[in-house]
Amino acid sequence: MSDTPRYIRRLTHAEAELWEIVTASVTPYRQRPPTAPAEAAPPAKPPAPLREAGRTPAPVAPRDRPAPPPPPTPLTEIDHRTRVKIKRGRLDVDAKLDLHGLRQDEAQRALSAFLRRAQADGAKIAIVVTGKGLSREEGGVLRRVVPMWLQAPHLRDVVVGFGEAARHHGGEGALYVRIRRSDRLRGR
């Protein structure tokens, strides 16, 4: 059997005209060096109006530079080796916070205070229990927002990284949080 498809769809006349209009306004991201001397190419014709729709297309404005990609998050996921050490009991969990029953504003204040206190006490790993929530599809509110809070700028000097906890520590309803040593802050 051959690898070529049996049926190749051809563009309709309207699709071909639209494609021509779109590609006329595109400029390459990087210029490639010419491989052969450029021959006299026929001048590019202006885009033809769409005949089937009965109207002319709107002029396409050239785009400015694309937006720069967002900066990488400074937090790292807890690596597999650390997670296995915690799971097997070779690395102790130094502190635990249970957020069950708290409203969002209470939970956020409790989380910030807990992490700062744990850092001051010299904790390396903490568990934050958020709960799984009532619906399996969406999850609980705290389960969704606590990871965002852990990435907040005011906690960057405390949190190194976080990840889902092992089943016996709460599984999907809990997070391991790696805490930055407080003596590392003085060097900043």
- pLDDT digit string, tens, across residues 10-69: 888 888 888 888 888 777 677 666 665 555 555 565 555 555 555 555 655 555 666 554
Same domain, 61 and 88: no
Same domain, 94 and 56: no
Provide, rounded to the nearest whole percent, the portion of the chain with pLDDT above 90: 11
**Rounded mean pLDDT, 124-140:** 78
pTM surpassing 0.75?
Answer: no
Same domain, 105 and 179: yes
Same domain, 83 and 157: yes
In this structure, is residue 166 part of a structural domain? yes
In this structure, is residue 70 part of a structural domain? no
How much is the pLDDT for 32?
A: 63
Same domain, 101 and 164: yes
Contact 161/125 with Cβ under 8 angstroms?
Answer: no
How much is the pLDDT for 78?
A: 75
Same domain, 134 and 88: yes
State which residues form the domain around 51: 11-26+42-65
How much is the pLDDT for 57?
A: 57
Same domain, 60 and 130: no
In this structure, is residue 1 part of a structural domain? no
Same domain, 172 and 88: yes
Distances (CA, A) of 134 to 32, 138, 164, 173: 56, 8, 18, 11
Instruction: Give the three-state DSSP class for 111.
Output: helix
CATH of the domain at 143: 3.30.1370.110
User: Of all helices (H) and strands (E), which one includes residue 162?
Assistant: strand 159-164
Q: Which residue has the higher pLDDT, 41 or 154?
A: 154
Name the most confidently modeled range: 13-17, 82-86, 110-114. 110-114
pLDDT-based confidence at residue 73 (cuts at 50, 70, 90): very low
Domain count, the chain: 2
In this structure, is residue 5 part of a structural domain? no
In this structure, is residue 34 part of a structural domain? no
Contact 107/99 with Cβ under 8 angstroms?
Answer: yes
Same domain, 52 and 80: no
